Amino acid sequence: MKHIPRKRFGQHFLVDEGIIDQIVRAIHPQPGQPVVEIGPGMAALTQPLVERLGRLTVIELDRDLVTRLRLHPQLNVVASDVLKVDFRALAASLETPLLRVVGNLPYNISSPILFHLLDFVDAIEDQHFMLQKEVIDRMVARPGTSEYGRLSVMLQWRYVMERVLDVPPEAFDPPPKVDSAVVRMVPLAQWQAVPQALLEELVKVAFSQKRKLVRHTLGRWLDAKGFSGEFDVQRRAEEIPSQEYVALAAALTD
């Protein structure tokens, strides 16, 4: 019986064999590696991955798809909302310190998934995701550009990222109304440890009024915190490099 893509799950199934092959080559899976696929759908990416790996863990919420996937003898199926998955515990259950995470992420919740995974970055070797191209543009954006924002700062704090492939709408069934791309995310070996919740709050405040100088937003927030250090608030949020936001969070915790 043909599975009908469900809008509430943001399902757009990858069907272009050439694109699938390019994604698999970008991931470069090796036999025995602990790979986790988010949202395997109709197994377009799953099958070529498992053929190279021998075994693959998949996370799927759609019960109809879970039933199908469990018929595959080489799949370890986690039937769950990915936002509820503890990736550190999953790594422990697979007896590995680091997971490789891949997937064609549902575009309607891609940012929440990225922020959820940020909580478990110490348990991840790398990530390869298909996302809306616009989202990836924001992830890799540099300061001083219109794409640069909260997502850029938070992810660049912990990852080095690159767009490795552009994917047209016709590669999917049904075709999405946006262009897609594949991003590679590798956790940084060197990074400044600051409380994630504090950095998130700080960055959210800074970008709450992008067109204004941050003295109207972040400046007032820093005053309320009793911050007595130095920080140039005569700039717009998009002009401030991510490392300066991180350094400010560090100064607030000293």
- Note whether 143 and 239 are within 8 A (CB): yes
Q: What is the mean pLDDT of each run of 10 residues along the chain (254 residues)?
A: 44 86 97 97 93 98 94 97 98 98 90 97 97 96 97 98 95 90 97 96 96 96 96 97 98 93
Q: Which of 149, 86, 140, 75 is nearest to 117 (CA)?
A: 86
Domain extents for the chain?
7-187, 196-253
What was the pLDDT predicted at 6? 46
Instruction: Evaluate whether 112 touches 104 at the Cβ level (below 8 Å).
Output: no
User: Exposed e or buried b for every residue in 204-229, given b needs 16+ CB within 10 A?
Assistant: ebbbeeeeebbeebbbebbeeeeeee
For the chain, the residue count is: 254
- The per-residue pLDDT for 5 is 44
Q: Locate 25 and state its tokens.
A: 């080559």
Q: Residue ranges for the binding site for S-adenosyl-L-methionine?
A: 12, 14, 39, 60, 81, 104
Determine the CATH number of domain 7-187.
3.40.50.150
Longest dimension (CA), the chain: 65
| pLDDT at 124 (0 to 100) | 98
Predicted local distance difference test score (pLDDT) of residue 13: 84
pLDDT at 11: 55
Sheet architecture: strand order including 75-79: 75-79, 56-60, 35-38, 99-104, 124-132, 180-187, 159-167
Instruction: Provide the pLDDT for residue 7.
Output: 44
Binding site as annotated, residues: 12, 14, 39, 60, 81, 104
Record: fold of 196-253: Helicase, Ruva Protein; domain 3 (1.10.8)
Phi-psi region of 180 (alpha: psi -120 to 50; beta: other; left: phi over 0): beta
